[in-house]
């Protein structure tokens, strides 16, 4: 089986919708735990208006405290030119800063307006500008197409629209294009079909898939994406996450659930399941409640010593 890269998004997408505010020190501890578990590409901050997303108010402080690891890539989410300038500023004066800018396109007008204050077409143009400007300034950049399978306000999204958006974005030269099931409505057949189409229409362009487990289909969708040729999968320690601007959009697929499933299928991820589970349990001590992840509660495959029971 071919290996697959997992992007750990817990410190950004995982926390942005949490009511319990994580301190800068706790965010850095979460990031360090993920790195120690084997994560080598991580979303660490979002350069957005702190009044709208209070959990991300300390973006620059988090980045200033990141472990200086040459084998790790740090991603910062940027929604506009101002956000990109903030990300670029973290690299000034010889500082390490953010390695990669993550731009976001929203597939529908209503959601785009509520999430970013612009139409879908405007978000495509802005994201293309962000990618070009980031690359011109020596920073890697990628783009995520949000609400790629469904919108909380407009319903189902035509896959042909997502392919068209991706083709336009590819002209800006991102390192990869991601499709996001922001509200957790996708199914394995739809995910496989869209990934396969993007791989066919954009040869050479890596495809990343960002999934939420809102309706319990996240892990099945992840396997469908992998089998269809997805190069990268996003996940969040503990299954934390959600979008502040999408009603009832609950957590990302849990990193430990994804790692367990892939490992049992013989797919290498480079991540330690035990270390990720330990990270999820540490997160529970900050939240004061259990995380949504299944494997965080049940653990990995029981290697004997348990009692048997009849089916």
Q: Which residues are catalytic?
A: 243
Cα–Cα distances (Å) from 14 to 128, 192, 212, 214, in that order, read 25, 25, 11, 13
Pairing of strands 150-151, 155-156: antiparallel
Query: Is the pLDDT at 310 greater than 60, yes or no?
Result: no
CA 104 to mean position of chain CA atoms: 11
Return the axis-axis angle of helices 24-36 and 273-287, rounded to nearest 10°. 170
pLDDT digits (tens, 9 = 90+) for 185-203: 999 999 999 999 999 999 9
In this prediction the pTM is: 0.95
- CA geometry: angle at 307 spanning 303 and 311, to 5°? 100
pLDDT digits (tens, 9 = 90+) for 99-130: 999 999 999 999 998 878 899 999 999 999 99
pLDDT digits (tens, 9 = 90+) for 156-177: 999 999 999 999 999 999 999 9
Cα–Cα distances (Å) from 241 to 9, 116, 253, 281, 292, in that order, read 9, 18, 9, 16, 10
pLDDT digits (tens, 9 = 90+) for 242-285: 766 666 667 899 999 999 999 999 999 999 999 999 999 999 99
């Amino acid at each position: 089986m071919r290996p697959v890269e997992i992007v750990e998004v817990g410190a950004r997408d995982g926390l942005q919708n949490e009511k319990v505010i994580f301190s800068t020190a706790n965010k850095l501890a979460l990031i360090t735990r993920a790195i120690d578990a084997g994560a080598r590409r991580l979303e660490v901050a979002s350069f957005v208006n702190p009044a709208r997303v209070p959990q991300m108010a300390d973006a620059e402080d988090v980045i200033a405290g990141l472990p200086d690891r040459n084998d790790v890539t740090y991603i910062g989410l940027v929604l506009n030119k101002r956000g990109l300038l903030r990300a670029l500023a973290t690299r000034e004066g010889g500082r390490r800063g953010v390695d990669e800018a993550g731009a976001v396109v929203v597939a529908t007008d209503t959601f785009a307006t509520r999430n970013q204050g612009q139409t879908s077409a405007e978000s495509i143009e802005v994201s293309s500008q962000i990618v070009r400007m980031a690359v011109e300034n020596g920073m890697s950049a990628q783009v995520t197409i949000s609400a790629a399978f469904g919108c909380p306000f407009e319903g189902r999204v035509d896959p042909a629209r997502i392919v068209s958006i991706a083709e336009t974005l590819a002209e800006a030269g991102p390192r990869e294009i991601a499709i996001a099931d922001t509200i957790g409505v996708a199914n394995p057949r739809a995910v496989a079909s869209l990934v396969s189409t993007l791989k066919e229409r954009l040869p050479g362009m890596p495809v990343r898939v960002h999934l939420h487990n809102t309706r319990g289909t996240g892990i099945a969708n992840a396997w469908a994406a992998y089998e269809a040729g997805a190069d990268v999968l996003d996940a969040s320690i503990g299954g934390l996450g959600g979008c502040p601007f999408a009603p009832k959009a609950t957590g990302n697929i849990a990193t430990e659930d994804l790692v367990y499933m892939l490992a049992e299928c013989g797919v290498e991820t480079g991540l330690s399941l035990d270390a990720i589970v330990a990270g999820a349990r540490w997160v529970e001590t900050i939240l004061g409640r259990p995380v949504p992840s299944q494997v965080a509660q049940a653990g990995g495959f029981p290697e004997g010593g348990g009692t048997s029971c009849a089916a």
